[in-house]
Amino acid sequence: MAEYAWPAEQLVAAARRGDVDSLTALVSGAHPNVQRFARSLCATPEDAQDAAQEALIILYRKVGTLRASGALASWMFRIVRNECLRRARTIGRDTAPLRDEARPSAEEEALQRLEAGRVAAAIAALPADQRQVLIMRDVQGLSGRMVADALGIGTAAMKSRLHRARAAVRSSLADVDGVRAGGGR
């Protein structure tokens, strides 16, 4: 997976002050990260493109409201997540009949939602330090060094937390599958 660095804090600060060239460079520099995150969250590639575009428009219009230059990544991820959720809520209301053949069946959609819910519950049950590392590394796609630096810990500690978090999620999901296979409790 290609890793893209977020624009430097100096560039964000200059864009916040209204420097047009910095703002243009900021939007261009944030685009690969925003696009990657949208692809991981949205239901369709079209929704991902639209959500990423909307997030970049919001960045362009409202970068001056960003309180801290270092908060750009989390701010953009929240915007993309909210846009993907908004699109997911409206998909059932305005889906054209022509798209029905490309959509999964109702049963498949229900199973996908169940699976996503199980994974989310397993992640939510993690201790905060493990959950934070797992989300930054596996969901946001940040490099190990970036995660370690952001959390103020060493790379070895970050790897250890990530390993424990992945093992706990895997175990949690396997326990549920084992209960289902064994006939329940």
**Cα(163)–Cα(175) distance, integer angstroms:** 18
The confidence band for 185, taking pLDDT boundaries of 50, 70 and 90, is: very low
* Segment 67-75 mean pLDDT: 75
Mean pLDDT of all residues in the chain? 79
Q: Give the whole-angstrom CA distance, residue 34 versus residue 53.
A: 9
85-89, 90-94, 104-108, 152-156, range with the lowest pLDDT: 90-94
pLDDT of residue 125: 87
Of the candidates 140, 184, 144, the one whose C-alpha atom is nearest the C-alpha of residue 30 is 140
Q: Report residue 55: phi and psi, to 5°.
A: -65, -40
pLDDT above 90 covers what percent of the chain? 11
Greatest mean pLDDT range, 63-67, 90-94, 106-110: 63-67
Question: Which pLDDT score is estimated for 155?
Answer: 94
> How far is 38 from 76, CA to CA, in rounded Å?
10
Amino acid at 123: I
Q: Name which of 26-35, 69-78, 122-131 the model is least confident about.
A: 69-78
Q: Looking at residue 59, what is its pLDDT? A: 86
For 83, phi and psi rounded to 5 degrees? Answer: -70, -40
Distances (CA, A) of 66 to 12, 19, 58, 59, 154: 9, 15, 11, 9, 28
Residue 1 has pLDDT above 60, yes or no: no
Two tokens, residue 1: 């997976």
**Is the pLDDT confidence value at 94 over 90?**
no
Per-residue pLDDT tens digits for 24-52: 888 888 888 888 888 887 778 888 898 88
pLDDT at 92 over 70: no
Q: How is the chain split among helix, strand and coil, in percent rounded to 5?
A: 80, 0, 20
Cα distance between residue 37 and residue 140, in whole Å? 6
